[in-house]
Every structure is written in C-alpha cells, then in structure tokens.
Amino acid sequence: MHIVIKSTTNQQSFLSSVFAHSSATFNWILDKEVIPDADLYIDFTFEEEGYFFSSITNKPVLVNAVIETTDSLPKNAVRFNGWHGFMLHNKLEVASKQPLLLEQIAVIMSKIDFKLLQAPDEPGMLTARVVAMIINEAYYGLGDGISSKTAIDTAMKLGTNYPFGPFEWSELIGLKKVYMLLSKLAETSLRYTVAPAMEEELGIK
C-alpha cells in the first residue's frame, strides 16, 4: 500500500506521527515535484493552494475541502475534514456523492487503521459545522462581555469534556477558515451569521 501526500512542512510533521504505526509507505510532496504512482493521493493544501493532483484521474484522491463541496472537485476526489485538531482517534470525516469511490477509499484507509465517517456533502460537513457554530457563539459571548477567552475555554472543556475550548479550536483551525465557513453557511441560514467580535478580530469591520 503506497500513499502520496501533498502537505506543508508543518502538516508533514504532524501527519508523520499520525501515520507512524502504519504498514503503508508514503511519499510527501511539498511543492511541484514529480508525482509517483500510488494507491491513494491525499491533498492537505487544497484550501490554501488549490487542487494539486489534477494529473491523477484514474486513482482516488482525498481532498481537504471542508467548505467546498464535491461539485467543484474532479470525479475521482472525495472531500475530507483535515482541519487541524479533527484527525483524532484514527477517524476521518469524509463526504462524497459516489458510494463506490467511498468504498474503495474506505478499504485503503482501513489498511492504515483509519475509519471513515461519512457526512453530508455540504459546506462544513458535520463536525466542522458544529465547531464553527460553537466558536461563533463564544465570540458573541466575548463581544457581550460575558467572560474572557481563557475562562470560556475552561468552562467549555470542563462542562462538555471537549478536547479544546472554542478559542483554542479557532487558533488550531485558523480563525479566517472558521469565518469563511460561517459566511458560506450564512448564505442560506441566518443562524450562522458571523459574530461582530470575530469580524473585529479579523479586521473585517
């Protein structure tokens, strides 16, 4: 089993530990290098750099596309949630409208001890959407002067047993990504309207 991964240097450092006990072999591509043959291709940099594996048309590609749906991706691509902090406990949230392609990728990922969790092919899938809403509500609370970031994080972790508080999540993910997801979701539902305190921190308003 051979897997080619497009990632940044920082992502490679983290992912090397995630895949440390896998029996598969890996190629890490950081830039425009020759792409070797593989059973699976994983693109972690799509949201920052665009689709990388356009020359790969006959093998499955996992794409870190939390906000974009598969409608904007090639037919051999499946979305996954690769935001920092979400690839815990060897589970990978994925979304696709192609059951057979999902089954093919599930077999490959099972060989490196990863289980796929299928989500709707919608912006944010499931977990990113929920976490983005939690972060947004925390910013509403911060803007209303309810408490500090540290206190809100502590209360959230103690009260829900979440691994991170909402502001810790936003730092791990990148607040701009959270903002972009909420803005996309707000196009169809006002419940996702971005908190003014978040916009202020980003310098948007």
pLDDT per position in the chain (205 positions), as tens? 889 999 887 777 777 777 766 677 888 887 777 888 999 999 999 999 999 999 999 999 999 999 999 999 999 999 999 998 887 678 899 999 999 999 999 998 888 888 999 999 999 999 999 999 999 999 999 999 999 999 999 998 998 888 899 999 999 999 999 999 999 999 999 999 999 999 999 998 6
Domain boundaries for CATH 1.10.1040.50 within the chain:
127-202
The predicted pLDDT at position 20 comes to 66
Domain boundaries for CATH 3.40.50.720 within the chain:
2-118
Q: Are 172 and 84 in contact (CB under 8 A)?
A: yes
Spatial strand order of the sheet with 40-43 comes to: 25-29, 2-6, 40-43, 61-64, 77-80, 91-95, 115-118
How far is Cα 126 from Cα 30, in angstroms, rounded to an integer?
A: 29
Q: Are 100 and 75 in contact (CB under 8 A)?
A: no
Q: What is the largest CA-CA distance in the chain?
A: 55
Environment class of 180 (CB within 10 Å of its CB; exposed 0-12, middle 13-18, buried 19+): middle
| End-to-end CA, the chain | 49
The predicted pLDDT at position 159 comes to 87
What is the torsion angle, in degrees rounded to the nearest 10, for the CA atoms of residue 6, residue 12, residue 42 and residue 34? 30
Q: Tell me the CATH number for domain 2-118.
A: 3.40.50.720
The predicted pLDDT at position 16 comes to 73
pTM score:
0.89
SS (H, E, C) 22-52: CCCEEEEECCCCCCCCCCEEEECCHHHHCCC
| CATH 1.25.40.10 assigned to 127-202 | no
Shortest CA distance to 114 belongs to which of 53, 171, 40? 40
Q: Are 141 and 147 in contact (CB under 8 A)?
A: yes
Treating both helix axes as pointing N-terminal to C-terminal, what angle do 166-173 and 175-186 enclose, rounded to 10 degrees? Answer: 100
Name the pairing type of β-strands 91-95 and 77-80: antiparallel
Environment class of 125 (CB within 10 Å of its CB; exposed 0-12, middle 13-18, buried 19+): buried
